[in-house]
């Protein structure tokens, strides 16, 4: 028996199965006591190794996909957003929209859970073995613009097109750099009917001309992004400031804008001689 165990240990080392090797002695003790059968012992060792490798795979994939910190649908507070259809979100978690190369839009005011839901669906896709990548619109366009300057735009678009699911977060929060709308259109066009996407935005589609600074490009974007689309509108107050809701006037809470307020105007610098402006 000792010789057999030594051969098994050697085989586990050669096969690079460290977790099964760690569990071997305990599993053999269970086998000798008659607590498990031989086939159950093999199953237990393989299950230990598989679970360890799967955990490692998911951790690496979440890091590569930029989905950390990870979110789950189980941790989402649906009671705080009664406008959401929980069954509809659960249906999306089945990931059929990825197979159909559809685009899921989460629209709503800041803090209503759009990014949480997008990330949670991305995490579910990673666990299912799908390749996922997430970025804010500003970061995505910044990366495309850098690649264009370096003469590597085609390679960058191919990189973003390889993912089964591309998540583009925070559309409408930051201004788009000049030429950014065209770069984003090239990426969307490359993925059109080939790869699924999830987009989150605090701006309605009618405002996308303003968001992208080019109504023509915005129309072309929407033509592709709404062709095979699931649109989910979230209405309600910000989840992040729920504990301070009493500090916000009731009329503001009841009419939360879908767009953030404009930045404050910069103060004029006073004249050097101290004279007042006319």
Q: Quick one: DSSP state of residue 181?
A: H
Q: Is the pLDDT reported for residue 226 higher than 60?
A: yes
Instruction: Confirm whether pTM is higher than 0.85.
Output: no
Burial label, 267 (beta-carbon count in 10 A; 0-12, 13-18, 19+): exposed
- For the chain, residues classed under CATH 3.40.50.300 are 78-254
pLDDT at 246: 52
Q: Is the pLDDT reported for residue 184 higher than 80?
A: yes
Percent of the chain topping pLDDT 70: 85
Instruction: For domain 78-254, give its CATH number from 3.30.360.10, 3.90.1150.10, 3.40.50.300, 3.30.70.640.
Output: 3.40.50.300
Q: Quick one: DSSP state of residue 202?
A: S
Q: Residues 143-155: pLDDT tens digits? A: 999 999 999 999 9
Q: Residues 62-118: pLDDT tens digits? A: 999 999 999 999 999 988 888 899 999 999 999 999 999 999 999 999 989 999 999
Instruction: Report the mean per-residue pLDDT for the chain.
Output: 88
Q: Per-residue pLDDT averaged across 17-36, rounded?
A: 94
Tokens of 4: 């057999």
Q: Which residues contact 137 (CB under 8 A, 6 or more apart)?
A: 168, 169, 170, 171, 173, 174, 176, 184
Percent of the chain topping pLDDT 90: 77
Sheet of strand 165-171, all strands in order from the earlier edge strand to the far edge: 132-136, 165-171, 196-201, 103-107, 229-233
Q: Per-residue pLDDT averaged across 234-255, rounded?
A: 55
Nearest to 168 by CA among 207, 195, 146: 195
pLDDT at 80: 85
């Amino acid at each position: 028996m000792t010789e057999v165990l030594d051969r098994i240990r050697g085989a586990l080392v050669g096969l690079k199965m460290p977790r099964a090797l760690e569990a071997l002695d305990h599993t053999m003790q269970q086998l000798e006591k008659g607590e498990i059968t031989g086939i159950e012992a093999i199953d237990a060792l393989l299950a230990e190794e598989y679970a360890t490798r799967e955990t490692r795979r998911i951790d690496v994939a979440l890091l590569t996909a930029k989905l950390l910190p990870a979110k789950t649908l189980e941790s989402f507070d649906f009671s705080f957003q009664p406008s959401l259809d929980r069954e509809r979100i659960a249906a999306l978690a089945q990931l059929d929209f990825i197979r159909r190369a559809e685009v899921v839009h989460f629209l709503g005011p800041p803090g209503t859970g759009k990014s949480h839901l997008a990330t949670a669906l991305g995490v579910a896709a990673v666990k299912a073995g799908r390749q996922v990548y997430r970025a804010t619109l500003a970061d995505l366009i910044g990366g495309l613009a850098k690649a264009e300057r370096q003469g590597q735009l085609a390679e960058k678009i191919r990189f973003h097109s390889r993912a089964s699911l591309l998540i583009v977060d925070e559309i409408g929060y930051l201004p788009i750099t000049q030429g950014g709308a065209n770069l984003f259109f090239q990426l969307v066009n490359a993925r059109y009917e080939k790869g699924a996407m999830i987009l989150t935005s605090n701006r309605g589609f009618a405002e996308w001309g303003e968001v992208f600074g080019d109504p023509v490009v915005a129309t072309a974007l929407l033509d592709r992004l709404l062709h095979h689309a699931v649109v989910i509108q979230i209405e309600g107050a910000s989840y992040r400031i729920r504990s301070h809701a009493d500090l916000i006037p009731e009329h503001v809470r009841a009419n939360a804008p879908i767009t953030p307020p404009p930045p404050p105007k910069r103060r004029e610098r006073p004249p050097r001689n101290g004279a007042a402006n006319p």
